[in-house]
């Protein structure tokens, strides 16, 4: 995620959350989870770089 944001020149606040309590607040257990603008876009699998680019483009 960080690599895609940097490569595409996107201004973004990227956070890696690994606190179980904080993850539980979002109500998602399968990890990894990708949230963009507070909306869950993917969970339970790693996305390819092209999938991440596509999701960021439409965010």
pLDDT score at 47: 93
Does 51 have pLDDT greater than 90? yes
| Percent helix / strand / coil, the chain, rounded to 5 | 40, 15, 45
pLDDT score at 52: 92
- Position with higher pLDDT, 54 vs 23: 54
The rounded distance, in Å, linking the Cα atoms of 30 and 6 is: 26
pLDDT score at 28: 82
Domain boundaries, the chain: 2-57
Instruction: Give counts: helices (H), strands (E), the chain.
Output: 3, 2
CATH topology for 2-57 is Glutaredoxin (3.40.30)
pLDDT score at 34: 92
Q: What is the pLDDT of residues 3-49, one digit of tens each?
A: 888 888 888 888 888 888 888 888 887 888 999 998 999 999 999 99
């Amino acid at each position: 995620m960080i690599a895609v944001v940097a490569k595409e020149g996107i201004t973004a606040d990227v956070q890696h959350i690994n606190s179980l309590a904080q993850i539980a607040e979002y109500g998602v257990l399968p990890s990894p989870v990708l949230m963009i603008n507070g909306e869950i876009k993917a969970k339970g699998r790693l996305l390819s770089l092209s999938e991440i680019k596509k999701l960021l483009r439409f965010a």
